Structures are given as structure tokens and as C-alpha cells.
Amino acid sequence: MPGEENIMVILSSPSGVGKTTLTKKIQQKYHSFKISVSHTTRSPRSNEVNGVDYHFISKEKFEKFIKEKKFYEYAKIFENYYGTLKKTVDETIPKNDIIFDIDWQGTKQLSKFKNLNLIKIYLITDNKEELKKRLIKRNQNTQEEIEKRFNSFDKDIKHWSDYDYVIINKNLDVCFKQIESIIKLSKKKLSIFAHTPQ
């Protein structure tokens, strides 16, 4: 069956840990991977491109999609909706591996679909103060948003037991190598399973 050896890697983390950077690094190095581009109701940041970083849509349209059960997963984070369309995933997985940059709420929902080959990775900083430094340094959020994201850290990390792997992102290159090892191992296991007579 086409796509049965393709995997879906979920990268989750509290805001500011580096999951978006790592997601892009994986896609740049491994051309078999496509980034799952989420739909969102939040406004684009100055450096974001519609259809590349996110599909930016209205709250009304998003809620219509929810009613029509068009999402594999969706969540409301900091007053905005984010979601993964079933259509996008179903069209991509027969040809490519997929990487998701989503939070614990989305991961919980995706995990309910037993037919998906999910590899769930949770990224974390080694302490909260480091997280605050990163949020300030990246200069993408207002002071109020930084406080909100920082304060949600404790709630976020309660969900790391839902994941297959937890990685502390102290050094981006080391963290990337650890994710690479997980991907290679997962692909190898799936390949063996796919070629074993059932």
C-alpha cells in the first residue's frame, strides 16, 4: 500500500523552545518530508507568507470547517485557532513523510487516529528562565504575549507523558541530531514491518 512506510513526525514544545526552526531544518535536509501547513485565524507576522507558514483564514471560516469535521486536529491557543486539514494530510502521506509543528492539544486529537504512523517528540528547555530569554530575544511578541506564553509553560509540560520522546533543546545542533536518529530508527522499523508477511 502506498505511503505505509511514510511517517508523521510531531514536534511539540512550549512556545519559544525552537520547534519551528527544527521543523524547517528537517525539511531542508530531508526532501521526503513535507511540513504540514496549519490553518490559523491569527494575523500573519511581518515575515510570514500565506500558504507557506500558515493558511490564514477568518474565524468564521475556521468554525465552519470545525462543524464540517474537516480537521484531523485543531486547538485554540492564545485566543486564535490552529488546525490541520484532513484533506492536506491524506493527499500528502502516500507520497511523503509529514512533519507537524503542533501543540499537545493537537497531538492528543491526532493520536486518536490509529491508522496514522505517528512519532511524537516533545522539546523542552532545561529551565524556565532560559525560555523567557529566548522569547524576548526572538522579538516577535509584545511583553504581554511573552508573559502569557511564559505562564503557560507549566501547563504545557504536564503533557509530555503523551509523547514517545522528550528532548531537552540546550543546543540546536545536538537536538537536531537526536531528532534525526529518532526519524532514522522509526523509518527502519516501519520498513521492516511493511516487508514482513502479515
Q: Give domain limits for the chain.
A: 8-194
Q: pTM for this structure?
A: 0.80
Question: Residue 2's pLDDT is what?
Answer: 41
The C-alpha cell that represents 183 in the structure block: 526519524
pLDDT confidence tier of residue 124, bands split at 50, 70 and 90: confident
Give the tens place of pLDDT for each residue, 130-183. 666 666 666 666 777 767 666 666 677 778 889 999 998 888 899 999 999 999
Beta bridge partners of 84: 73
pLDDT at 100 over 60: yes
Q: Smallest Cα–Cα separation from 84: which of 51, 36, 50?
A: 36
Top CATH class, 8-194 = alpha beta
Q: Smallest Cα–Cα separation from 179: which of 192, 165, 191?
A: 165
pLDDT confidence tier of residue 41, bands split at 50, 70 and 90: very high
Question: Residue 1's pLDDT is what?
Answer: 39
